[in-house]
Chains A and B, each alone.
Chain A
């Protein structure tokens, strides 16, 4: 028997390799050198920058590599760029925050990068096992990151909760994949699944069960109701920079895989999973938005808001047309910018071991720190979906995809939900602009890196909100890979 090694090109996973090497390098340096850790963020940024260049270099490729295990197409590369952007902004936000906690650790940056590698593999996965591997690489790094503050009880709780529930969800996902393996007659390649499953009419109950299990697994990662229970606690307990990272990166990666699997593998069962997701989307939007109103901790509020946004994103998947896929990409980019911006402000205001996380601490912020308050107001309006911000265009795309697919009621429920969300986002602006200061915030010092994050996110939110055309065309080009849409 001869063993043939399929031909492959390392350059196809170049960005992921770069980040892996950077992460390992950081770990080594951390172990070998004592004391001098200030350059880890720079090193991470350099790695991310290189990865971004590699991604852009790959642009325009199509097809698969590594024996059909990963996709190399523009859909993947767009998501690479979103992950890299999210990670880079997180890295910029972190040093000062970790310093305040006395936790300036090298492994923090290494874990961030490893997690990013996992996200990339999820977005690129062409085989269900590949997607599962990516998911686990990403998740394990994030479990550790959530528990970074060992002495903090809430951080511990967050990590443990996330780990246990996350493993549970992964098991569901894996079980679903196993069933698909059986039902399809022994393949897990996304390209083949659709054809094989469409033929297997006798096994329909099994396939539907498998789809349901996959929905559980992905639903957990994107924080969709009713698999959202972990979200508020983990978001609140985890270090704020990690929360920001989780809220944008993990969600984006999970949605990339979610969309790819459902668009490619299950077009024959569209009616069935559409109905299921319809209910989940409405529940997710409603629960997220309604419960967010009752929150007084800003991190919890943003956690519920992230649940609600998962609901909007589900609408894009339900629409299952090209517009829906484009809106998914656009919205995730917009969400990355506005949410990281908002968390950046939370980190700045929170300071000193997160002492100022109550929303009432934001009272009167505009008198002392007009620029900070203006940035926060911009992010809140963007999250609420008010023009001319990226949040508005994102919602506009998503709901137009829904209307195009004939889901008028879903669109109506969606916009009514964003009306509810206006209330709690607006409350932050009310506090900042219309109430006198309550807590004595003391001086808020921004590092240049933190300033840069706020500047980039604020400018980005406005820029892609006012000129969305370029991204729309990129997205349209990228989603051509889904034949059924």
Chain B
């Protein structure tokens, strides 16, 4: 019998939570150590996914299926393909690093913090593995609570509650409309085929009339757009990122945002392919606005964390642009860019968090000339900055290049506009780096800053390893997603042939 790896990954953190409950809450280092061990085990458990993954097939692997609510057609159904594999590994890879990053940062309510972190991990893996719409929705919502608490309890005292509630309400708004769409889809499927089920893969095969696809695409899309976040639904992001504790920002940026883009790949596009083709212009333009707007706003930020938050809007715009090309290059670029963004932006938030721990400020103006005082820090910061800009040889370049290539095939204008985003990225990142790092030390308080400790270096070492690895030899990762992407692109091409128009939506005309 095959070992239920995915279930272990989903529920091992829950076991960990139970273990933590028995530890004394005053024993802070012990709690952190225990969480670190749990998350390292989780990472170890996730490695078989990578090694046993069959990259020649687009079918779901490591599938587990158990009845949950059989009379309703709901089952506990998990499995992964190339899209989810990388994201799950990213999650299990980053969590131990996040625990390490809390070592000195989080000092009050450590026990609750670690419980939230583990609950979040469980929920995130669940979202990426769920193949049943009901199960997916449950994980999607469950995850909100720990993230909400992370922001609200351990965030920046001044505005944390505002940011937490805003995060919660924005996400909830989208997902509730998605719930109605899920129900509608469920009953539509039941009415057409006679079997009532929430099984996602079965629903892939259904051909839904365009006017229904139109509305359901929008309902699902809204939930995911808010999560990505795409312009104009991005306003929760800068607040949530800025107010969250360092680790909260890292997880938010690295994994939670990916749920939006993953949602488009897994649900929106394959379920409603005709609508997905119909909406390409709208979503591409929104993605482009996001790229350019995010970059321009980043440039003007005085707060390091806010700057990175807005740069996320820009980077995620690239991902969306790539996904909506429905080409091999674009989609693969989009996926690799999701991972890149997780690594680089995660690392950037950690970098800002470390300087914040030392100086208790994140204002760019308070720094300057730090490279003289903290050479190791400066080196790491430089590498990550360049990776975020997309310097060839580092990971960002691979993703952005593939996305622009894909976009060029479908529409040259998108590609050209998207490319300006790369230039802007260089502007705001390098300018920020210059102001913080170069020149002479302008603020006396910065003279006594300590360079990174071994623990902190240990956090960055694996991150930088992968930043370089993806940059130099992306095939390791692209191979894993190739079969899935080919299948996805082929499916999307099939739907392209059908002619659709708005008259079908509003006047009830039949498809041509």
Contacts and interface: CB of A to CB of B under 8 A. Distances in A.
Interface of chain A, main secondary structure: helix
B153 A434 contact: yes
B161 A403 contact: no
Contacts of B72: 469, 472
Contacts of B186: 400
A433 B184 CA distance: 37
B145 A422 contact: no
B142 A387 contact: yes
A232 to B, nearest CB: 24
A472 B177 contact: no
B168 interface: yes
A433 B179 contact: no
Chain B CB count within 10 A is highest, among A381, A386, A412, A434, for: A434
B165 A426 contact: yes
A399 interface: yes
Interface string A428-461: 0010011100000000000000000000000000
A437 to B, nearest CB: 14
A392 interface: yes
Nearest to A381: B145
Interface in A315-374: none
Interface stretch (A68-76, A217-225, A413-421): A413-421
Interface in B130-172: 134, 137-138, 141-142, 144-145, 148-149, 152-153, 160-161, 164-165, 168-169, 172
A430 B71 contact: no
A434 B180 contact: no
A476 interface: yes
Contacts of B161: 430, 434-435
Given A386-B144, A387-B138, A422 B180 contact: no
Interface centre among A403, A408, A412 (most CB of B within 10 A): A403
Contact of B168 (A392, A418, A422): A422
A423 B69 contact: no
Contacts of B144: 386
Majority-rule SS of B interface residues:
helix
A422 B161 CA distance: 14
B164 A396 contact: no
Given A386-B145, A408-B184, A415 B69 contact: no
A403 B138 CA distance: 19
B490 interface: no
A196 B120 CA distance: 59
A404 interface: yes
Contact of A399 (B70, B142, B183): B183
A423 B162 CA distance: 12
Given A387-B141, A388-B138, A423-B165, A415 B71 contact: no
Contacts of A399: 179-180, 183
Nearest to A423: B169
A419 B180 contact: no
B427 interface: no
B180 A415 contact: yes
Task: Please give me the 6 A-B residue pairs with the lowest Cβ-Cβ distance, nearest first.
Answer: A415-B176, A403-B183, A387-B138, A469-B69, A434-B152, A400-B183
Interface of A: 381, 386-388, 392, 396, 399-400, 403-404, 408, 411-412, 415-416, 418-419, 422-423, 426, 430, 433-435, 468-469, 472-473, 476
